[in-house]
Amino acid sequence: MPSFRMIALPLVCMAATAQADETRQLDAHEHGIGALNVAFDGNTVAMEFQAPGADIVGFEYEATSQEDRTAIEDAVATLAKPLDLFQVPAAAECSVTQASSALITEDADNHEEHHDHDDHDDEDHSEHDHEKHAEHDDHEEHDHAAAPSHNEFEGAYTLSCANPAAIDTLTFAYFDVFPNALEIEVQIITPTGAKAYEVERDAPELALSGLF
Amino acid sequence: MILRLALASLWARALTVGMTILAIALSVGLFLGVEKVRTGAKDSFADTISGTHLIVGARSGSVQLLLYSVFRIGNATNNVSWESYQDVASREEVDWIVPISLGDSHRQFRVMGTTRAFFEHYKYRQGRSLAVQHGVVMDDLFDAVIGADVAETLGYAVGDPIIVAHGLASFTEHKDQPFRISGILAKTGTPVDRTVIVSLEAIEAIHVDWRNGAQVPGQSTSADEIRQMDLVPQAVTAALIGVKSPLQTFGLQRAINEYPEEPLLAILPGVALQELWGIVGVAETALRAVSAMVVITALIGMMATIFSSLNERRREMAIFRVMGARPRVIVTLLLLEAMLMAGIGAILGLLLVYLGLFIAQPIVDSAYGIWLPITPPGLREALIVLAVVVAGAIVSMIPAWRAYRLSLADGMTVKT
């Protein structure tokens, strides 16, 4: 594996010691590795996605320059289109019924950027939406800018599939869109139980035969 | 023509050839047997729990939680407090929840405290429910339901008294509170067969007069008094959860894993099982490699016999040549002989495995709880036989090549 993959937990722990009395716990945070959870129930497919900021935009410090902000906004908008990132066979006839994506900063749970997307009209990422969020961001100044923070992009999606049994592969165009991402840990729940997979950049396809 | 010749030639050396075939048959039998046991063990493990969406326990490792909660291997690092259990149970995603309390034993078998919901929701082998073979599911506080292996090993019948020991390997028994066997479960091939199941309250009840792991001297509460007591457990070891919709599984898992009041861990049984299999996978690969090496050794043994037979067959080869056989025919003959030996050996090995399976299946099932299914040979087996035949052909190339070279000049001028 590439050498810049690292477990950055100690750093985050240092950042967290500021809050003394509370319960202190942090999720593992590993650069290069994202997570995708998929659950099937009838015609509904629920997906959850999570990846470190380093994978998606290449940095995890708090965005201060306009350039960084634009990068985050673009990434959040891209992550709101799950079927462009995690492609399912056309025969499954899936459409997005609900999609949201956000950037979460680990040490304070601040939502820096949020992108809600309620219908599956994918072309409708109008610019004013982004601007509104950018403005909103401006007067929400964070006081922990100096702390070595880690952040993660998250997405939650609901798909409606006419024929979910036709989903025999998942193709991860995600790796083409985000060149810093190396691996995704996938967990899939089907009526036959739960299974875990690792999908890597070299082989961005996941065969799901025999799960239905 | 050559085939008949090859068969006749093998028949003429029946003893040596027979030994070679036996060696190949045994090695192929070993290889296939290892495969059968390997996949059988894997399936048995995978079949132990089904229909449970999440297992909750104290925060440790997912494999550890799976092992102690489902397979009764190892111990919990911590318990889950009753308050936390109630919090989880009252979440709206939870369709059903079954608590499990471990820690006591009866002889070599573990005692598990749970609720009647266990019998309803615990599923194995793709959704099969537990069945009570004799008697009924526990009704009274001091009723126990025992697994098939417990009944068989200890010769228990419904109505027999049973005494639960404190801890897992101790001699301090809860003699003051004897249980009665109310039911015996049908064989499942899962660790439930080796478990004594009592109610969650019963686990509390047997510890009523106990403090710090020992009985309080002179204090003995009668069974009837205990029945009147409020036996709310302080903690459970783990809990099995079914969610209302599979879509909520990940959300509930995250909520439990981030539960602030107590470090809890929720795992997906299938994923934990896969993780476990990833660990065991190394040993598995080693086992396969060793058995494959045995097959290769047998084939090399065959090569050695062919080599040594070349010497004694020099005259035979010479006669073939005199009669007009081309050197190519000699090579074909030797290859064919080798492939016949390998093929017959492989098929015999296959038969040997099935014979072994018929004999060993019930023994392995009762001794280890591993069910080895007897399935008709499929593509896999056909491929293995084919691979052995091809490998046999390849190793016999070397003696065949030697015979080819020799047959050009040798044999006509026999020196002996």
Cβ burial B130-143 (10 Å sphere, 16+ → b, else e): beeebbebbeebbb
Mutation to test the B interface, candidates A19, A25, A48, A97, most B Cβ within 10 Å: A25
Q: CB distance B53–A189 less than 8 Å?
A: yes
Q: CB distance A44–B247 less than 8 Å?
A: yes
Helix (H) / strand (E) element for B114: namely: strand B109-114
Q: Above 80 in pLDDT, residue B210?
A: no
- Say if A187 falls within a structural domain: yes
Considering its fold, how many domains does chain A have in total?
Answer: 1
pLDDT digits (tens, 9 = 90+) for A48-79: 999 998 889 888 888 888 888 899 999 999 99
**In chain A, which residue's Cα lies nearest the Cα of B46?**
A193
- B53: which chain A residues are within 8 Å (Cβ-Cβ)? 189, 194
Residue pair B21/B345 in contact by the 8 Å Cβ criterion = yes
Q: Report residue A105's pLDDT band, with 50, 70 and 90 as the boundaries.
A: confident
Residue pair B96/B117 in contact by the 8 Å Cβ criterion = yes
Q: Above 70 in pLDDT, residue B214?
A: no
Q: What's residue B173's pLDDT?
A: 57
- A195: which chain B residues are within 8 Å (Cβ-Cβ)? 270-271, 274
Mutation to test the B interface, candidates A21, A22, A23, A186, most B Cβ within 10 Å: A23
Tell me the shortest Cα–Cα distance from B89 to chain A, in angstroms.
21
Q: What's residue B414's pLDDT?
A: 53
Q: Report residue B94's pLDDT band, with 50, 70 and 90 as the boundaries.
A: very high
**In chain B, which residue's Cα lies nearest the Cα of A188?**
B271
- Say if A110 falls within a structural domain: yes
Q: How many CB pairs under 8 A join A and B?
A: 47
Q: Above 80 in pLDDT, residue B221?
A: no
pLDDT (average), residues B160-182: 68
In percent, how much of chain B has pLDDT > 70?
A: 90
Helix (H) / strand (E) element for B31: namely: helix B14-46
Among B247, B261, B275, select the one facing A41 at the smallest CB separation: B247
Distance of CA B390 to the CA centre of its chain: 31
**φ/ψ (deg, to 5) at B98:** -120, 115
Is B324 in CB contact (< 8 Å) with chain A? no
Among B50, B263, B271, select the one facing A196 at the smallest CB separation: B271
Helix (H) / strand (E) element for B243: namely: strand B238-243
Can you give the C-alpha Rg of chain B in angstroms? 31
- DSSP annotation of A74 reads H
- A25: which chain B residues are within 8 Å (Cβ-Cβ)? 258, 260, 263
- Residues 91-130 of chain A with CB under 8 A from chain B are none
Report the range of poorest mean pLDDT among A179-188, B62-71, B134-143, B332-341: B134-143
Q: Above 80 in pLDDT, residue B168?
A: no
- Give burial (CB, 10 Å; 0-12/13-18/19+) of B175: exposed
Q: Could you tell me which residues are beta bridge partners of residue B267?
A: B55
Q: Above 60 in pLDDT, residue B152?
A: yes
CA atoms within 13 A on the CB side of A38: 27
- Say if A15 falls within a structural domain: no
pLDDT digits (tens, 9 = 90+) for B25-55: 999 999 999 988 888 888 888 888 888 999 9
- Say if A64 falls within a structural domain: yes
**In chain B, which residue's Cα lies nearest the Cα of A44?**
B247
CA B147/CA A159 separation, integer angstroms: 44
- Say if A10 falls within a structural domain: no
- A192: which chain B residues are within 8 Å (Cβ-Cβ)? 126
- A46: which chain B residues are within 8 Å (Cβ-Cβ)? 247, 250
Q: CB distance B270–A194 less than 8 Å?
A: yes
Average pLDDT, chain A: 75
- Say if A86 falls within a structural domain: yes
- B250: which chain A residues are within 8 Å (Cβ-Cβ)? 37, 39, 46, 48, 187, 189
pLDDT digits (tens, 9 = 90+) for B255-291: 999 999 999 999 999 999 989 888 888 888 999 999 9
The residue assigned the tokens 């690292």 is A6
Determine the length of chain B.
Answer: 416
Among A23, A37, A193, select the one facing B50 at the smallest CB separation: A193
Is B53 in CB contact (< 8 Å) with chain A? yes
- Residues 47-86 of chain A with CB under 8 A from chain B are 48
Is B323 in CB contact (< 8 Å) with chain A? no
Q: How far is CA B115 from CA A14, B56, B177, B276, B399, in A?
A: 44, 16, 19, 28, 70
Whole-prediction pTM: 0.76
- Supply the range of the domain harboring residue A179: 31-122+131-137+149-207
Average pLDDT, chain B: 86
- Say if A50 falls within a structural domain: yes
CA B260/CA B249 separation, integer angstroms: 19
- Residues 22-51 of chain B with CB under 8 A from chain A are 50
Q: CB distance A23–B260 less than 8 Å?
A: yes
Among B250, B269, B270, select the one facing A39 at the smallest CB separation: B250
Q: CB distance A37–B250 less than 8 Å?
A: yes
- Greatest alpha-carbon pair distance for chain B in Å reads 105
pLDDT digits (tens, 9 = 90+) for A7-53: 444 444 444 444 445 566 667 778 889 999 999 998 999 999 999 98
- Give burial (CB, 10 Å; 0-12/13-18/19+) of B311: exposed
Q: What is B262-308 written as a DSSP string?
A: S-EEEE-HHHHHHHHHHHHHHHHHHHHHHHHHHHHHHHHHHHHHHHH
Among B126, B258, B269, select the one facing A194 at the smallest CB separation: B269
- Say if A70 falls within a structural domain: yes
Is A160 in CB contact (< 8 Å) with chain B? no
- B261: which chain A residues are within 8 Å (Cβ-Cβ)? 23
